[in-house]
Structure 1
Amino acid sequence: MEIGFIGLGAMGRAMAKNLAAAGHVVKAWNRSGGGVDGVTMVGTPREAFTGDAVLTMLSDDAAIRQVVLDSDVLAQARQGLIHIVSSTISVAFAHELVKLHEQHGIGYVSAPVLGRPDVAAKGELHVLAAGAPPSVQKVRPLLDVIGGKIWDLGTEAPMANAAKIACNMMITMAIEAMAEAVVLTEANGLSRDRFFELILGTLFGSRSYQVYSANIANENYEPGFKATLGLKDLRLAAEAAAQVGASLPMLEAVHRRMKETVEAGFGDRDWSAMADFTIRASHSR
């Protein structure tokens, strides 16, 4: 297939490279330039909307609005093209995108992903896919390249966005839970290494606990996913909760804690630096 790709951050680069390696013709545009092996770089976003499908991996609602909507790319896109949005975006914006694509006769699939850059490089992302079945089916070969497992979350695209936001919310809750557990156990003489060995071998053996317990144990917060992006996703979760009139106290707590972490200067570190902030804050009291 001929594929457009927009957004070559750490995740996007790995995804585009895997698509090209799988034999697809990939034409990419990136706001900050650069290049990827096997991928043809183009000069404008419009040129990425001329194939069978285009995948965007931009940072947030505002970036997609600027690159895709403000430039009126949809009005110039090839008819029959399917637009796959793998960014973590708000549920409200996903609804807006569905309507705009329908107006322009362009297919639309929400396909946010779970996984860090190392997982993306292996083509083992969890892809949360939702949208009109014909559109999802058409781009399934592309999703199979970037993902180790494709989760079919329904015929309404925003369902996938709600799921992704909820997943990221739960990861931050896990990070904060581990941090607070370390405060209790270290205060009583148990090392965090020994405690994490316990929880990983009993109650909490999932990848999120494995990855972020290692960060906390080693005090290594080199960014895989920046705290500023984590704060953005928690804001999206808070907005989604407000839209349905829900009160989510744990969300409010981690949202506040991540905000404090970013304000303390940890914004460019991995979002698990929130744990370091919590542990340090407990020692200062």
Structure 2
Amino acid sequence: MEIGFIGLRAMGTAIARNLVKAGNDVRGWNRTPVAPETVPGMTLIDNPAEAFDSDVVFTMLSDDAVIRDVILRPALLARARPGLIHVVTSTISVAFAQKLERLHEAAGLQYVSAPVLGRPNVAAIGQLNMLVGGKPEVIAIIEPLLAVLSKKVWNLGEIPAQANAAKLAANMMIAMAIEAMAEAVVLTESVGLDRARFFELILGTLFAGRTYESYSAQITEGAFEPGFKAKLGLKDLRLATQAGGATGRSLPMLDAVQQRLGEAVLAGLGEKDWSIMAHVTLRGGGLSPAPVTVAGTH
């Protein structure tokens, strides 16, 4: 299958490599130049319009604004191959996903939202969880492609934005779990209980699961190297807040974790893993806006 790929940073590169390994003809473009050996077997192209002259195009771009700049402002939809399927794997706002669906329909193109759960190392071994929303007949066409990228494809409905809402909700819940663990450590360390012993208890009883296992280890070790950068996590929490605002409901826990992560980013920690918000809580807030070394500080 002829595949265009736009967005070759860590996650995009990992996904593109697996598409090439599966025998697809992949042509890739990135906003900043990448070396030809970045994805062995992939053809680098000169501009994103060439990617839209394909059967399927994947985009892994950082946010709504970048998709507008790269895809919409140059009117790439109007220049695309007829019948093309556009798979947007980025974490974008619900409202923007709804707009993209309308724009693709008007252009006679197919649109699928497919944000992912997993980090680049997970993508590299084809073990992502892919959250997919779109027309069933269109998803069926690209399912063999999604299968080589993921351990499971979660088909969440015919409305693309359903997948985007699910991704934002999942990230919101991860942030809440990080903050919950940090606040629990504040309580337990106040009487001298070692955080490693406390997390052993929690993981062995009430809160077993990958999120708690992964982030409790980072909190225990005071090691917050990315994974998932705090500045990107804050972007996702802001998108979740926008989606929540559209419901007319109050989401106080979301407000709290967005504020906490915002404090970390404001303090110059936006390049750290987003679990750095736990460090803010453990410090009692009030971080100065300067880089902070946190490993081994507990």
Tell me if both proteins adopt one fold, taking TM over 0.5 as the criterion.
yes
206-215 vs 230-239, greater mean Cα deviation? 206-215
Tell whether 2:81 aligns with 1:78: yes
Would you say the 8 A contact 1:226–1:270 is kept in 2? yes
SS at 1:258 equivalent: helix
Equivalence for 1:272: 275
SS at 1:246 equivalent: coil
The correspondence for 1:64, drawn from 63, 67, 78, is 67
Deviations along 1:151-183, one digit per CA (max 9) or x if unpaired, are 010001000000000000000000000111111
Deviations along 1:213-254, one digit per CA (max 9) or x if unpaired, are 111111111111110011100100110011111110100111
Deviation at 1:282, TM superposition (A): 6.2
Equivalence for 1:3: 3
The correspondence for 1:50, drawn from 53, 74, 89, is 53
Equivalence for 1:259: 262
Equivalence for 1:105: 108
Distance 1:269 1:74, change over 3 A: same
Instruction: Report the number of matched residues.
Output: 284
SS at 1:204 equivalent: coil
- Quick check: which one's helix share is greater? 1
Deviations along 1:104-130, one digit per CA (max 9) or x if unpaired, are 111000000001111111111100001
Would you say the 8 A contact 1:183–1:282 is kept in 2? no
- RMSD after superposition: 1.2
Equivalence for 1:150: 153
SS at 2:225 equivalent: coil
Equivalence for 1:182: 185
Tell whether 2:219 aligns with 1:216: yes
Deviation at 1:283, TM superposition (A): 9.9
Task: Quote the Cα distance in structure 2 between the aligned partners of 1:283 and 1:99.
Answer: 44
Task: Quote the Cα distance in structure 2 between the aligned partners of 1:111 and 1:282.
Answer: 36
Deviations along 1:79-127, one digit per CA (max 9) or x if unpaired, are 1110000100000000100000001111000000001111111111100
Distance 1:283 1:192, change over 3 A: farther
Task: Quote the Cα distance in structure 2 between the aligned partners of 1:147 and 1:47.
Answer: 26
Q: Structure 1: any 5+ residue segments left out of the alignment?
A: none
Deviation at 1:190, TM superposition (A): 1.3
Q: Structure 2: any 5+ residue segments left out of the alignment?
A: 288-298
Would you say the 8 A contact 1:125–1:146 is kept in 2? yes
Task: Quote the Cα distance in structure 1 between the aligned partners of 2:204 and 2:31.
Answer: 44
